[in-house]
Structure 1
């Protein structure tokens, strides 16, 4: 008795594609602006954004692969390729943030005065461009899109820091503000990356999805009139959105094929409401011995 429903909210490849082109375009603007303002800080951020563009392009590629239909080789489809994009981006974000920390900490003790006016102009443009990318990615639901949105959020926060810092430095001689804000932003990004890596590893290790409670599943199925119990319950997620479940349902009495079909439809309906998309059910009669060791 199997339910092979594949309807779900597909990740929006267009979101990541738009973020990629916005980031790449602004990287070019940063390089030109950094040269014109003679700002090493902006040129350094341009190099950082160039790395972001690479990771965004990689995420776009993985997201496109994730939409392919299932094959005999990948029987659950290519959804987990989206997860690979999230992991690669998490690693890049971690390395980038650590590099920022390595460069920002020494500047607290020997701050450098940048071109505040040029920084202000580029900061406003940076907030607008990267902010638009974040808003676009926030519409998505995949873990890959969430991690990619961290890239864009990092840039938005970075440019907000540049905007505030440049505004203060334009009127006050306080160049230490720029590295201090960079350190705080990097720590914030690292904290969010840790959360996303932890979520990704739970999916890879086939842990139970946080949105699906095994206790609620057991309660929903056992409350049916013709069910006396369940066991061998397994729940995992393919990509953080598409949740899979297998379970053995012990009947209170033998049922006809038509009755089993009706019972299966009711179980499927209840489990769909608990955010389970792919369900495999094995029915057992009251006096049947389960041949799996885990059933004991």
Structure 2
């Protein structure tokens, strides 16, 4: 028995496309603004945003590829290309965060006074642009979008830090606040990105998405009238959203094809609540040797 459900990620691609164009446009503005305000913090953020733009562009491309239908080369479809994008973007963001920390830590010992008025204007614009892009992506549930959302949330928090520091610097000569806040929000983002990366790597390694769900599926299948045993059950995920189930079910009696059809219908109904994208169930007769043992 085999069941296949095609996922539609057109909305996901549109959201990522929005984030890409907003990020690219604002990155250009950042470079100009950093030069005009003589702010190393803004220039550093501009470089970081340039990396974000490249990552989001890659995510957009791979997300479109992931919507292709299954073929002879990729029999399960292309959903895992979206997962590949999430892995690459997570790695880029970890690298970017480490780079920001490497830039911010020395400034603790040698802070420089930037043009606060220009920083305030850019910071407000940065919060609005990146906040809107993060809002667009917040509707997405894929790991790809979640990773990208952390890119944008990092930028939003970064611009809040710039805004707060710039306002304070209007009244107090204390430029060390800039690197302190930068380090704080970067560490916060880094911790959350690492968590998402761990989840992504587990999915790449085909770990069981939810052990409790797997056990419940086993118990549900064993509760069927004609089933005596459930084995070789594998539950894994294509991309964090679309899950795959394969299982061998041993019949307790040799039954005719009509009853087998009835059992298959019962199994299909039983598995509906689990919202599986692919299911492959093999029925085995009593005393039949399982070829996978």
Deviations 1:11-63 (Å, cap 9, x if unpaired)? 61011110000001111111222222222221221121111111111111110
Report what 1:82 is aligned to: 82
CA distance in 1, matches of 2:97, 2:114: 21
Preserved contact between residue 221 and residue 267 of structure 2 (Cα < 8 Å): yes
Report what 2:262 is aligned to: 262
Q: Give SS of 1:282's match.
A: strand
Preserved contact between residue 111 and residue 175 of structure 1 (Cα < 8 Å): yes
CA distance in 2, matches of 1:42, 1:49: 10
CA distance in 2, matches of 1:292, 1:71: 26
TM-score w.r.t. length of structure 1 = 0.94
CA distance in 1, matches of 2:122, 2:142: 31
CA distance in 2, matches of 1:267, 1:158: 51
CA distance in 2, matches of 1:63, 1:289: 42
1:284 equivalent to 2:251? Answer no
Deviations 1:130-150 (Å, cap 9, x if unpaired)? 001101111112111111111
Matching of residues 85-96 of structure 1 within 5 Å: 85-96=85-96
Report what 1:8 is aligned to: 7
Q: Give SS of 2:239's match.
A: coil
Deviations 1:55-84 (Å, cap 9, x if unpaired)? 111111110110111110111111111111
Q: CA deviation at 1:151?
A: 0.8
Matching of residues 93-104 of structure 1 within 5 Å: 93-104=93-104
Report what 1:114 is aligned to: 114
Report what 2:272 is aligned to: 272
CA distance in 2, matches of 1:266, 1:30: 59
Matching of residues 61-72 of structure 1 within 5 Å: 61-72=61-72
Report what 2:52 is aligned to: 52
Deviations 1:117-168 (Å, cap 9, x if unpaired)? 1111111110000001101111112111111111111100100111112122
Deviations 1:181-222 (Å, cap 9, x if unpaired)? 111111112112211211111111111113862211111111
1:7/1:78 CA distance change after superposition, 3 Å: closer
CA distance in 1, matches of 2:159, 2:89: 20
Q: For this pair of structures, how many residues does the alignment match? A: 292
Preserved contact between residue 221 and residue 227 of structure 1 (Cα < 8 Å): yes
For structure 2, the residue ranges without an aligned partner over 5 or more in a row are none
Q: Give SS of 1:216's match.
A: helix
